[in-house]
Structure 1
Amino acid sequence: MEVLMILVFISLILEVLFCSILMLPISMALRKKIFEKLNAIFGGHTFKVVFRIVVFLLICVFANDMRESILTDKKLHSSKLEGDLTFADRQAFHLKLFRSQRNIYMSGFCLFLYFLIYRGQKVIGELSSVEANSTAINKQIKQNQNTLEDLLKKNEAYETELKSLRKMEKEFKAMKSQAENTNTEYFKLKEEYEKLVGKKTKDDKKKD
């Protein structure tokens, strides 16, 4: 049991140091690197098995010491044994109670920090995934914006060309109308000329 509590104590010290490092004013990128390394360790099947075993042992230690603390406290304050206990017995019970309570705090805090670090690693992993998706979406949005700008530029070019074609169409219609009017005037003048020529021919014949 003492060996197990020494391991729990070492684990607690390491967890406190790790949490203290994370509480330092370091950059978010460095924290992400730390948790990414943890994710590489925590993500394996072997660690999941080890994690369950460690959690099970910590829960067993916590529950056992809780039970020992309650039983020792009852014995220490029991009215039947209170008169029979010597000073040495009381010291032994107090020492046992102290050890049980110490183990409760150590295993409880160790278990709490263990879950805290594990959950923090999961959250950072999810945030990294969301950030990667967000970066991909931003790139896609930027590409869509560039495509939209190209389409708008092409649309402006087409509108300019369309305006030019409409202007040319108006000029063509005006020239066509002018040509039709000129043609009509030409035929009128031709008819008048032919009439004049015919009339002159008749007059010349009468004179003859």
Structure 2
Amino acid sequence: MSLQWTLIASFLYLEIFVVLLLVLPIASPTRWQKFFKSRFLQSLRNQASIYFLILLAILVLFLLDAIREMKKYSSTEYSEHAHLDAEMQGNMRLFRAQRNFYISGFALFLSLVIRRLVTLISTQATLLAQSEAAMRQAQSATTTARSLLSQKGESAENDNNEAHDKIISELKSQISELTTKKSDIESELRKEKKDKEALKSQADSLAKEYDRLSEEHGKLLKASVGDSTDKKSD
């Protein structure tokens, strides 16, 4: 194997190792994202697209060269009198061309796969960070809502207590007013009862006085009638 194909084969093995690292659950997407955002890779990030295009171009050239070699040695026809050694060399060169075709083809394919895996892992890490931020915001919003609801409940309870105290104070004031009115009415009733008893006693005394005067008047009438009959008899 020549030097250039040895380098391409080594690059293919390196790509296989990188793909296994990215696919296997060795590190989380967040850690991969931190690694991708390291200082060294960030310094190469501006020129990474150029390097990647150059690498793709080199792999495409080697792939086209391998295809050309395959067509060249597959179309070679050997005569019946050709030496067996020349035929074996031709088959060996065809095998090498086919081997180089598979090496360059898989190296090109895995380059695209690695680039896609890096993009997907970065996107996944970003989505995970956004989801964690959204969860933290949702938790903080839930905590805030619960605190507001508790404060509202406490304020409503305080308002209810204040309203209850106000109603109780109003009822107490009404009860005191009613008690005052009741005491006033009872005092008036007692006064009227006393006046009624005084009037009754006065009426009784007047009735007794009237009876006495009536008796005295009757006695006087009798006395005057007796005197008049005595005078007539004389």
TM normalised by structure 1 equals 0.77
CA contact 1:12–1:110 (8 Å) conserved in 2: yes
* Residue matched to 2:9: 9
Matching of residues 1-208 of structure 1 within 5 Å? 2-22=2-22, 26-28=26-28, 33-37=34-38, 40=41, 44-75=45-76, 78=77, 81-83=78-80, 85-189=82-186, 191-192=188-189
Aligned-pair CA distance for 1:122: 0.8
Code of the residue aligned with 2:18 in structure 1: it is F
Larger Rg: 2
CA contact 1:62–1:103 (8 Å) conserved in 2: yes
* Residue matched to 2:222: none
CA contact 1:35–1:124 (8 Å) conserved in 2: no
What is the RMSD computed on CA atoms of the aligned residues? 3.3
Q: Secondary structure at the match of 1:26?
A: coil
Report the Cα distance in structure 2 between the residues aligned to 1:33 and 1:186, rounded to whole angstroms: 89
Could you tell me which runs of 5 or more consecutive residues in structure 2 were left unpaired when the two chains were aligned. 207-234
Give the direction of change, closer, same or farther, for the CA distance of 1:25–1:186 in structure 2 (3 Å limit): closer
Number of residue-to-residue matches in the alignment: 200
Give the direction of change, closer, same or farther, for the CA distance of 1:39–1:134 in structure 2 (3 Å limit): farther
Aligned-pair CA distance for 1:31: 5.0
Aligned-pair CA distance for 1:194: 6.7
Code of the residue aligned with 2:12 in structure 1: it is L
CA contact 1:55–1:111 (8 Å) conserved in 2: yes
Aligned-pair CA distance for 1:170: 2.2
Code of the residue aligned with 1:146 in structure 2: it is T
For residues 155-195 of structure 1, the C-alpha deviation after alignment (integer angstroms, 9 at most, x for no partner) is 22112212211221221231132133234334434655676
TM normalised by structure 2 equals 0.70
Aligned-pair CA distance for 1:141: 1.2
Of residues 62-71 and 37-46 in structure 1, the stretch that sits farther from structure 2 once superposed is 37-46
